[in-house]
Every structure is written in C-alpha cells, then in structure tokens.
Structure 1
Amino acid sequence: MKISQLLHHDTMILDLKATSKNQVIEELATALDSAGKLANKQQFIDEIHKREQQSSTGIGDGVAIPHAKTSAVLEPTIVFGRSSRGIDYDSLDGKPSHLFFMIAASAGANNEHLQTLSRLSTLLIDASFRELLMKAATKEEVLVAINEKEQLKLNAEQEEASPAAAAEKYVLAVTGCPTGIAHTYMAADSLKDKAKALGIKIKVETNGSDGVKNRLTADEIARADAIIIAADTKVEKERFSGKRLIEAAVTDGIRRPEELLRKAVSGNAPVYNGEGASSSRDGAESGAGKKSGFYKHLMNGVSNMLPFVVGGGILIAISFIFGIEAFNPESAEYHPFAETLMTIGGGNAFNLMIPVLAAFIAMSIADRPGFAPGMVAGLIAFSGESGFLGGLIAGFLAGYLVVLLKKVFNFMPPSLAGIKTILVYPVFGIFLSGYIMLEFIVGPVQTLNSSLISWLGGLGTGNIVLLGILLGGMMAVDMGGPINKAAFTFGLAMIDAGNFAPHAAIMAGGMVPPLGIALATTLFKNKFTKQEREAGKTNYIMGASFITEGAIPFAAADPGRVIPSIIVGSAVSGGLAMLFGNTLMAPHGGAFVIFVAVENWPLYLLAIAIGSIITALMIGFLKKPVNK
C-alpha cells in the first residue's frame, strides 16, 4: 500500500490557521473527523496528547508527526497540514514546525497499513523533499511529490534487501519507540543513511507496532563490530553478550547518527557482559538523561515501591471512614468491609513495600539476577522489624553481592551462562544476603529504629516544630528529587514504626508548592503569561493530590524567586502541622485522605492554607509583571 492511498484531498490543509501546538492538533483532528475517519474525535485527540507526554513528536527540521493507534480511528489515514509562519511544537531542535503529518492508525490496522504509515516518517529526513512540500502550490502537487519520493524509497529498500559486498566495518542497530509508528523507523533510516555516507555496512532491526522487523540473526551478531540500541523501549540485550554495545535514546538515532556510528566503529564502545552489565559506560553510551550510581538505584526501588504505598495507603484511609478501629473485630466500631480494606491495603500491599523496595534496588544494581536475593533480603528486613532502613540496606547489599558473584564465577565458560543465572546466582545470592541480614543487620538496625522513635517521642514542643520545619522545607527543595524523597522515605519509616506525626508535616510540605503557585497565578495574573496561568490551574489538582512535581516548571523558569518562596511556605506548613499535633496514618493521598486519616484535620487544613498563602504572596511580590 502506498502513502497516497492513505492521504486524500479532504485530509490536507495547505494553510493552517492554528498558532499553537494544541490548536494544530485540534485543527488536524477536525479535518480527520470531517472526512469520516474517526469514531470519536475527542478520544483520538486524548490519545495524541498521551503520546506527546511521552516525548514530543516535533522531530525538528520544521517537521512534526503527531500519531496514535487507537480504536477511535475507523480506518488508517494521514492528515497533512502546512504552516508558512511556523508553529511552536516543542520540537527537538527548538525551532518552529511548518510541516505536519498526523498519522491515525486504527486499533486493528494490519502490518501493511502500519508499514506504509511508518515509511512516511522516513521520507521527511530529506531536506530537499521538505522544501518541495513547502513550495507546493496545490494539493495535487503535494501528492505527486510524495508519490515520487516514496517510489525512490521503495526502490532503495529492494536494493538493500539484496546481498551486498562486505564493508570494512559492520554495525548492527536496533530501534524502538513507545508507539512504534514514527520514531522507530526514522531512527532506522537516519542510521542507515549516515552509515552509507560513512562507508559502514549496517543492518537495523526495528521494534515497531507491527512487530520486530529485520530481526538480527545469531550469525550477524557474531560478525558485527558493534551494536547500537537506539530505543526508548525494552530491547532484548542478552543476545549481544560479549559484543561492543552502545545504548541511546531513539531520538539520538534520529539526531546524532554520525556520533553513534563513529563511536561504534572506533573500538572504544563498552563490551556488554550480559545480565545487564557492561565493562564501562559514559553519558553518550548509556543514553541521554539517564542517571547512575546510588541515586539511580535508590529511585528504581522507590518508584517501583510507590504503587504499593499509594494504592495500599488510600485503601487504609478508606477503611478509616468506617472508624479508626473499624478494621478490628474486637472494636465496637468493627465493620467487615473495613477489615477487608485493611487486610488488602495494610496486611498485604504495605507488607510488600520493603521487599519490593529492596528487590528493585538490587535489580537496578545487578539486573535480573539481583531481584530474588533483594526480595528475600527485603522480606527478612521486614520480618525482623528493621523497617525502611533495613530494606535499603538489604537492596544494596543483595545487589552488590550479586555483582561480586558475577566476578567470582566469571571463570565459567559462556556455554554455562544459563546455569549461572538459574542456579549459581540465586543460591549463593539468596544465602549470602539472607545470612548477612539475619546475623549482622536486622538486630542493630532494629535497635537504631527503636532509639530514633524514642528520641522523637521525647522531643519537646520546640524541637518537634523545628523537625516539622525541616521536613516540610525538604519537600520543596528539589520537588521530587533526592532531598524530597529522603524526607518522604523518613516519613514512611516513621509510619511503619508507629509514629504518625512526621509524615503529617511531610505531606503538608509537599502539597504547598503546587498549591501556592496555583494561588499565585490566580491572585497575581499580571505576573504570569497566559500559558503559565493555564498551567497554574492544574496545580490546584496536583497540590490537592500531593504531587509536588507540579511546581517544577515554574521553579525551572524562575528559580531565584520561586524556589525560596515554596521552601518558606512548605517549612511553615510542616512546622504548624507539628505544632497543631497533627498525625497522618496514610502515607499518600493528599486531600483524599485528610478527612479520614489526619488527627485534628481542620487545623491541618489551616496549616496547609497558611503555607500556600505565604508562598503565593512571596511569589507575587518577588516576581515582576510579565510586560516588564
């Protein structure tokens, strides 16, 4: 199937009226709907925005390819739009977009349709083709240009499929993106085009929505000088064990193909040793934006633990609606449904938090072989009442023990690699991490936790308020970063130990930044752009939901004024929560749990309101009007 069969005169707009990203999505979707290609226009638009949240489809060079595969599409279709003045579409190169191809794939689209839709994205890499589309005076000229370019592409694909003489260097690549329609194939073509210019023989496997295409064979992997993975999705890597491997984001495959290819043939790429470990890494090889070291491992554990915290915590809070002791069969407040909620949330979801935390920390360090030792060590920490500190120690202990085991058993031949994974690492990893936890860690950490609880219980009012100020302020310093997570993890540990006051200060401090900013955008409209005021409205919801990260865009845009304002407001709220004697029995939930899980909730709301107002006033007074 050719592109011209999916692109029609009634799905082409040569002069877009839109002036913003949201408007262009709306205008193109309206054309699609008017052509009778959509079952539900709003559902389709929502799916487009959902894809944009993963990464912008503004690929740069004046081109944007918004796309979605959804049941809202009746039949696969392409919508073409052109803007001579250009539209800000959050492009990768920061420049306005002029050419828009909205790809609408139906949920049941066959492979032929998906391949055709994906082929379009690869054509747009050619600058002369883009210029031809910009100059086309009629819709017919656009279709002719696309037909001619597509035929050249199909001819090149046929030549590529035939055997070619071996080049001096042979590189394999794998590309993949979350949707698997556009970026996957653009990265593949970008790598192939640049490899041809550099005289490098290459084969690219694509992990698209129509499945794996051009799959790499064992013989090809054995012959390859290096492998490039340019993907934002999980790729099977064990087949590359012993080969030089470069990992990067799919956008790097589009924007930085020459850099990746030169690194691949230089002989300096890291050797992948299998089971998630490479001999060396650097920023370019491990992918843009990826963190490493302690923080990366800790966040892997915390992020995978959070669903248990949020889901279990809110179920616990719901059980409190029936009465604080309604889950207890011996209480006069007893209600069987409250007991069920508490059993699911507190007796199961919460009981898994520490083992899951430890397991995913260990897995981040040692890949899959670290998971089982981390889970068992975390369960020992939980059973031994050593709390979150014990879970953190268990995760790092198990992870690095497995890394050590990999080095110790490195003498085993590659033919026995499977034995190491299913026998050696589980047996020795579980035994060693479990033994160390039982004999050396659980007891001292349990004693330390008991001492900490006793110390907190013995604090006078002044010291308790200072602790609340510190914890509340920490929640606003980096808004979801390591300092914020350190305070949050401390609060969880205190809940686990039966002290519910610190986490009340922590949640209050975490709710203030987005709420304070939202209030500032309402009270001081002349200090914010229209876009910022619109974003401020969503911060009411994010703040009420205890999502501190809603403040990040405002803090990034004006850190000198915003960050001090939110820290002061959060610190005040945290201190007041402690002063008012508030306690919080649920670890998460924001406004959804305040009325049922917070002791003395009216004063707690007052503490949050005061902190939010202080933040709003400080921002309002510190910021300058936008027209200046």
Structure 2
Amino acid sequence: MITKLINQELITLDLQATSKEAVFKELIEVLFSQGRISDKAQFLADIQAREAQGNTGFEEGVALPHAKSAAVITPAVVIGVSKTGIEYGAEDGLPSKLFFMIASPDGGDNHHIEVLAELSSKLIEEGFIDRFMNAASNEQALALLLEKQQPVEAPDSLQQQGFVIGVTGCPAGVAHTYLAAEALEKGAKALGYGIKVETNGSIGVKNSPTPEEIERADAIIVACDKQVDLTRFAGKRLIKTNVKAPIRDAQGLITQALAAPAYEAESTSSTSDKTSISSKASEARSDLYRYLMNGVSHMIPFVVTGGLLIALALAIGGEPSEAGMAIPAGSMWNQILDVGVVAFTLMIPILAGYIAYAIADRPALAPGLIGGWIANNGSFYGAEAGTGFIGAIVAGLLVGYFVKFIVSINYHKFIQPLVPIMIAPITGSLFIAGLFIFVIGAPIADLMTSLTELLTSMSTGNVVLLGIVLGGMAGFDMGGPFNKVAFLFSVGMIASGQTQFMGAMACAIPVAPLGMALATALGRKFELFESSEIEAGKAAGAMGLVGISEGAIPFAAQDPLSVIPANVLGSMTAAVMAFSFGITNSVAHGGPVVALLGAMNHPLLALICMAAGAIVTALTCVALKKMRKAKLIAVTA
C-alpha cells in the first residue's frame, strides 16, 4: 500500500527552500509535477489553513504538513530533506530538516490512512530519522521506508502488568492522530502493558473501547485536540493532554496516567455535589457549551464581514425611503451591500453547520449547513420569516446527534467508506429537512400569525404595554420570528399612516448590538468577555449605528442566559420611551442612521431612547455575567 503513495519521484533529498513557506511551495511543486494535485494554489491554501489550527512541527527535526483538499487527484506523501534545516516553529525550538507532506483527497476513499499508520511506525522507530537523513539516494531512502522492522513482541496476557486505554485525535484527523496512537502502543508494550487506542481521525472514530475494556483498564490517556466523550471514563485514572504529547514521551504519559486521580464526570450523591461541580468546572467547559462555541467562532467572521460591509454601504451610500434605507441605482455601494448580504445570509447556516461538526465531525457538516439554511428560510415551511439563530442552534444540535448515531453503526467494510461522504450527509440532510418542513415549520408559521394578531389587537391599547411587547420581541431573537413579526407589523402600520409603531421599533432595533458593544467595553476590566467577543463588540457597535440587530447574535448564542434578558430589557426601555415621546418613523428601517438622515420626527429624542436602551442592556448584561461568575467562583472555591 505504501508504494502507491510514496515513490522515488516523490522524494527530494536536497531541498533548496530556506523558509517554511518555501518548503511548502517546493514540495507542492513536486506533487503537481507528478500529477497528484490539480491546483497548487488551492492545496497551498489548505495546507496553510491546517497549519493555522496548530503547528505540525515535531521534535527531532521532523515536520508533517498535511491537508485534505479538493485539489488532490490521487493521495500521496512527498518527502523533503533540508540539509541545513529551516525555522518551522517546532515546539523544541530547533530547525526542521525532514518533511513529510501528506496530500489527502477531500471526500475520497481513506486507504491513505493505512499508509499513514505504516509511516507513523517508521517515524518513531529508533534510529530511523538519522538513517533517512543520511540516505545517499532516493532509492536508498525509499528502501528505508519499505524496510520491515522487527515486530515488538507484546507480553503474554498473563504476564502483562496491566491494561490501559488511549484516545488520540487532531483537528485535521490525518497525521498526528495516528502518530500518537502508534507511539502509545509502542510505549505501552515497552512498559509491559496491554493497550487499546481509539483514533478520532478523518474517517471517524475507530477502535473504541467497550464498556468491559474500560472497566478493566488501569488508566486512560486522552491525547486529543478535538472533542471526545469523557463521561464514559468516570471513576478511572485519567490524564488529558494534547495529541503531540505521546509522540514525545509515550512511556512518561502512561506512567503519569497510572498515578493520576480518578476522573469525575458528574455527582452521584448529595454529599458529593459540591466536589463534583468543582471537578466539572475545573475541566474544559461542558460539551454543549463547546459545541455552541464551535459554531459561534466560525460564525463571527461572517457577522463581522457582512455587518460592516452593509453598515458601510448604508451609512455612506444609503438614503431613507418608504421601503427603508436604500442605495440609489447605479451606485457602487450596491455591490458592496450585496457582498455584505451574502456574508449575512451564510452566517446562520455556518452557525448550525459547525455546531453539528463539533458533535459528529465532517459527516455532519453538510447536513448542518443545510439544516441551518432551511431553519432560517421560512419559505420552506410557509412562514414569513425563519427561526433565526435559535433555530440554527436547534438544527445544529439535532443534526449533530443524529449523524453521530448514524456513523456509530457497524457497517460492512465495503459500505464503511461511504458513510462519511454519502450515507451520513444524505440521511442527515433528509432528517433535518423533514423535521423543519413537516414538524417544526407549521408551529413556527402559526406562532407568527398569532403574534401578528396579538400586536394588531393591542395596537389601540396602552402604549406602555405595547412598547413592552414590541420592544421585547425586537430584542429577543434578532432576526428570528419574534423580531420579524414585530418589524413586519410596524412596517405594515406605516401604510395606514400610523408611523409611531415604526418609531418605537426603530429605537428598539439597534439596542442589542449597541448594548453589546458597550457591555464589552465595560466588562473588559472584569474579564467577563473573551477576546473574540471584545473584537466582535466593536463590529456590533458599527452595525448598531445603522440598525443591524444581528450584530448581537454571537453574544446571544454564546451566553443566552445573560445576553437575551439584557437585550429584551433594553429594547423594551427604548420602545416604551419612544411611544411616550411620540416618536414616529416613516421608513422601514431603524437605528441612529435613520434619525440622523431625517426620517424621524424627533431625531434627538430618538437618539436618547436608543442610548438609554443600550445602557440598560449593557448594565444588565454585565451584572448578570458578574453574578454568574461570582456563583461559579463560590462553587469551585
């Protein structure tokens, strides 16, 4: 098998490159010349994207740049040797001299994984690296790769000192996963222990331990840079580290694991509640939180890019009109607006897709994206608006767990390669589409109709109560059904000459993003927000100025219990004040930009309403976050 991926022409024993980037380009040129890839630029971009997830430089001068890419025609491993070495960023700080670049097809078969396992065993073979570096010719180098090493005899089961379990996985699921697994297996044999290693690779989870094996295991070594289920290991000695650690010192890790404390997943009795909660708090955040954060982190660039481009286009090129803020035909700002709209259109599917991806890896990505798109497009189920970010979260979670179940089934070996690229994506897509169109969709459509009727019945009633309801709906889901119903109702009232509803709505719309921008500024000294949130807060402020409420979505998705109540309270404040001041708005848009362009009858009072709402939102959000942080500290103390 290894001869299909590596041959003499794919070995370069005298690289001319003097930098990391140059090494990539020189090795990619070899792949291209051998017809293994079709697009050098695309493959380089995929290699760089993988490198951004984590440096692929190892100790002892070895580097393993790799990527799954649509540019790969045939899987291959190209090998390069730099006599002088180049600065690669390896953890030991030493130059890298031996490079194995692995080119894997995106969505193709997975035979190359078998070759990678063979390569892994060679790289950790004692003396192999030095012998390869000193090879005089490509033929000699290839012979070293193909040379069969003497198998390490496993101790007889009756003589084994014990049994351990390993779990390995890297973000790309290609190189480090199997290198770490091989290192753990050799390390365990050297110490006289039996071992079973679960690999969380690009072809899914393989070789998972059974409950019986977990029960008899003396220790668990989790060397993984991706999410794995740790609850199954409750009560067992466990050490958790990164995927590179066993490659450096597998025996040391196993020794540490054998002396580690027992892992506690959750409390089992009232007397141990506090200890268990403390243990969980000291671990990485809950699985559900990590799933949400995976979606939010991938969504933020789309929110920021789309929001800022739309904000820029409307702020500079926009003019108020009856249909809302409009850019004159023929203006270049229309094209900029269109690009921003594309990014905004994608952000909800991206949120759903990468939540699903965090749960069930690549097989869940496509159905997650599809589910997010359907959830956000009410036309699929007869509603005037989609479910927004809340629907995307629901879609991502449902798809993720469904696909996780699908890939966990034991298929025939001839069907298994089709599971991640065909069976799981198709069944997952049909599952979530059917669920939204035939089950979830109808109640959403009915809900929007009922909310519209509610607002219509209240339109002649108490303005304070109407402001509370209208403002609360505006701040609740930022583009979801509640927000859309309030907006469409207010727009409809403009046609009947009752512009005070749109006046209140226009003041409530920007409160959430402006409030989050202010909250991130106020909360910085209390360390209440992550760095990514602080950066997103700046973009949210710009979006709020031109009435784009979606700027607050990343914050609501990341911490709904603190952010949504704060948004609702602030939006209510702004709407009630607007009704009380008699503010009107004749265009279907909101935010300070509408007031400044003269579409509102009392622009200064409108700005005061918006500012007051934003301040209430910011203070409420900071207060709630501080309370939750203080409670967590008290529990873990």
- State the TM-score, normalized to the length of structure 2: 0.51
What is the match of residue 271 of structure 1?
264
Aligned partner of residue 143 in structure 2, secondary structure: helix
What is the match of residue 152 of structure 1?
149
Distance 1:478 1:53, change over 3 A: farther
What is the match of residue 120 of structure 2?
121
Aligned partners of 2:391 and 2:107: how far apart in 1? 40
Counting only pairs closer than 5 Å after superposition, residues 192-341 of structure 1 correspond to structure 2 as: 192-273=185-266, 279=276, 303=297, 306=300, 309-310=303-304, 313=307, 317=311, 320=314, 323=318, 325-326=320-321, 328=323
Aligned partners of 1:319 and 1:32: how far apart in 2? 44
Whether the 8 Å CA contact 2:546–2:590 is kept in 1: the answer is no
Aligned partner of residue 111 in structure 2, secondary structure: helix
CA drift at 1:96: 0.5
- Quick one: higher RCO (CA 8 Å, sep 6+), 1 or 2? 2
Give the unaligned 5+ runs of structure 2. 269-273, 330-334, 349-375, 378-384, 397-467, 478-506, 553-588, 598-637
CA drift at 1:324: 5.2
CA drift at 1:87: 0.9
Identity %: 38
What is the match of residue 91 of structure 1?
90
Counting only pairs closer than 5 Å after superposition, residues 600-611 of structure 1 correspond to structure 2 as: none
Aligned partners of 1:130 and 1:142: how far apart in 2? 11
Distance 1:117 1:278, change over 3 A: farther
Distance 1:125 1:281, change over 3 A: farther
What is the match of residue 103 of structure 2?
104
Whether the 8 Å CA contact 1:302–1:357 is kept in 2: the answer is no
Counting only pairs closer than 5 Å after superposition, residues 327-476 of structure 1 correspond to structure 2 as: 328=323, 352=388
Aligned partners of 1:308 and 1:274: how far apart in 2? 39
Distance 1:478 1:91, change over 3 A: farther
Aligned partners of 1:58 and 1:477: how far apart in 2? 36
2:178 is aligned with what amino acid?
Answer: Y
What is the match of residue 576 of structure 1?
none
Aligned partners of 1:494 and 1:108: how far apart in 2? 40
User: Number of matched residues?
Assistant: 414
Aligned partner of residue 46 in structure 1, secondary structure: helix
Aligned partner of residue 235 in structure 1, secondary structure: coil
CA drift at 1:69: 2.4
Distance 1:74 1:305, change over 3 A: closer
1:303-324 Cα offsets, whole Å, 9 max, x none, are: 4774684477368649948845
Distance 1:330 1:138, change over 3 A: closer
Aligned partners of 1:492 and 1:127: how far apart in 2? 55
Whether the 8 Å CA contact 2:520–2:537 is kept in 1: the answer is no
Whether the 8 Å CA contact 2:520–2:533 is kept in 1: the answer is no
CA drift at 1:10: 1.5
Aligned partner of residue 88 in structure 2, secondary structure: coil
Counterpart selection for 2:176 from 171, 183, 204: 183
Aligned partners of 2:27 and 2:324: how far apart in 1? 59
Aligned partner of residue 7 in structure 2, secondary structure: strand
Give the unaligned 5+ runs of structure 1. 361-381, 392-448, 458-467, 507-584, 588-593, 601-628
Aligned partners of 1:58 and 1:312: how far apart in 2? 35
Aligned partners of 2:64 and 2:319: how far apart in 1? 53
CA drift at 1:85: 0.7
CA drift at 1:258: 3.9
Cα RMSD, aligned residues only: 6.0
Whether the 8 Å CA contact 1:122–1:185 is kept in 2: the answer is no
Aligned partner of residue 84 in structure 2, secondary structure: strand
CA drift at 1:183: 0.1
- State the TM-score, normalized to the length of structure 1: 0.51
What is the match of residue 528 of structure 1?
none
CA drift at 1:185: 0.9
Counting only pairs closer than 5 Å after superposition, residues 526-565 of structure 1 correspond to structure 2 as: none
Distance 1:104 1:183, change over 3 A: same
